[in-house]
Amino acid sequence: MAEALPDVPSPPTDPAAGAKSARAGAPLCFLVDQEPSIRHFLSLVMQGSGIDTVEFADGAALRNALADRKPDLVFHDVSLESADAIESVLALGKSGFRGPMQLMSNRGAAVLEHIKTIGVQHALHMLPVLKKPFETDTLMKVLSQLKLGIPTAAAVTISLTEALASNWIEFWYQPKIDLRKKQLAGVEAFARARHPQHGILLPGAFTADASEGDLIKLAEMAMTSALKAGSKFSELGVHLRLAINVPIQALVKLPVVDIVKAHRPSPDKWPGMIIDITEDQIIKDVPLALNLSMKYAESNVKLAIDDFGRAYSALTKVESLPFAELKLDRVFVTDCGTHKMNAPLCKTVIDLAHSFGSTAVAVGIEKASDAVALVSMGCDFGQGFLLGQPMPEERFISLLRQRAGTRAPETTPA
């Protein structure tokens, strides 16, 4: 995991405030680790999975917070001084806590098994120990097995027509991080369908066979919802450039300028909107994409090339690419910190983005080694589970509100 993770929305570190501010009905996890970056990493993954968190630098702080509220889950580091973890185990048992307890450590097995045995003796549900370092997928597997938070999307397909008519569509927001400054730089909206039987469904479950008319309706909803969400963010003093995904065939039929004028936040502090169009769609009609880019510029709406890199040889023949961002295809990002082939390819694509005067955005960042490598390659922004998962609007706003209470207002860089 990274030595220093970005400054993205996170739960308050004050134990009392955190325990009292947890949303009613949401599971609550107490996180204990002396390393802030590790606590922050755990918080981001859990928050994106619908689990509230409160962070503690040591077990003593956790034990003091038990008077305010008992958690549903505890993640506790076992440092060189194992007495702290043992005291927490004893305190949790005495308090009547019966939820799962996850020990984390890079210490030897004998010490960890000793603490785990003490927990079992005090009627605690002790999970198999997690050896550090561990990645996002390991943590997600633990949460899935515990059936805590938002369940994994079902492998079903539904009609977009029905989803729109039934008001099942909502938009979730994922942080976009300035990799060099380690700061929140923007946010991207993703469509989700909240099905009454199947739960939360990803776009692939309701867009694959959708009609053009329904895709246009979905695109208009995405734009309108993102603009309205941006206004709510601005009210908290956080001015974020929002990104949405729109198929080019839907974009050409949308009254983008009118929609922006009707719903955008205050023009004075509005950083604007990014519309992502996939590389394969742009390659099919580069002049159209260039036209749209110029058409929307006066409304502070810019285009980005999504899944960029696989067909960049065709784009290098274009004299200029007036796109605000080039979002690297995740095939280049995955293992770019360790894979001998991916690293030079990733660097080449980042350099190409900069040669066009565009910002390079890496998506799908899940490993700290990849995040570190991307910074050294000069990549500008990043998104991924390591930096924060997509989350419901109300949860994202809640985290921004907590953050805004302790920080000065900020504006996203251009």
- Tell me the CATH number at 60: 3.40.50.2300
pLDDT at 8 over 70: no
Cβ contacts of 179 within 8 Å, gap of 6 or more? 6, 362, 371, 374, 375, 379, 380, 381, 382
216 lies in some domain: yes
190 lies in some domain: yes
Does residue 119 share a domain with residue 257?
no
Tens of pLDDT, residues 114-125: 999 999 999 999
pLDDT at 11 over 70: no
* Local confidence band at 342 (pLDDT 50, 70, 90 cut-offs): confident
Tens of pLDDT, residues 343-370: 898 998 899 889 888 999 999 998 888 9
Does residue 223 share a domain with residue 328?
yes
For residue 237, give Cα distances in angstroms to 21, 47, 266, 297.
20, 22, 12, 25
Tens of pLDDT, residues 21-78: 445 567 899 999 998 878 877 887 787 777 888 999 999 999 999 988 889 999 999 9
- Tell me the CATH number at 204: 3.20.20.450
pLDDT at 155 over 70: no
Among 50-59, 97-106, 198-207, 311-320, name the one with the lowest average pLDDT: 311-320
Does residue 232 share a domain with residue 119?
no
Does residue 203 share a domain with residue 107?
no
Last residue of a domain, one of 111, 146, 181: 146
End-to-end C-alpha distance for the chain, whole angstroms: 29
153 lies in some domain: no
pLDDT at 4 over 50: no
7 lies in some domain: no
Does residue 200 share a domain with residue 141?
no
What is the domain range of residue 216? Answer: 160-411
pLDDT at 232 over 70: yes
pLDDT averaged over the chain?
85
Q: Which residue has the tokens 């991916």?
A: 342
Cβ contacts of 150 within 8 Å, gap of 6 or more? 49, 50, 199, 200
Does residue 200 share a domain with residue 96?
no
Does residue 48 share a domain with residue 128?
yes
d(CA 387, CA 290): 31
Does residue 174 share a domain with residue 135?
no
**Entry pTM:** 0.75
Does residue 84 share a domain with residue 201?
no
Backbone angles phi, psi at 298, to 5 degrees: -65, -20
Last residue of a domain, one of 95, 124, 146: 146
d(CA 140, CA 144): 6
Last residue of a domain, one of 123, 146, 169: 146
Does residue 346 share a domain with residue 233?
yes
Does residue 173 share a domain with residue 235?
yes
Q: How many domains does the chain have?
A: 2
Average pLDDT estimate for 231-248? 92
Give the per-residue pLDDT at 39: 85
124 lies in some domain: yes
d(CA 244, CA 246): 6
Tens of pLDDT, residues 258-308: 999 999 877 778 899 999 999 889 888 888 988 999 899 889 999 999 988
Does residue 248 share a domain with residue 106?
no
152 lies in some domain: no
339 lies in some domain: yes
1 lies in some domain: no
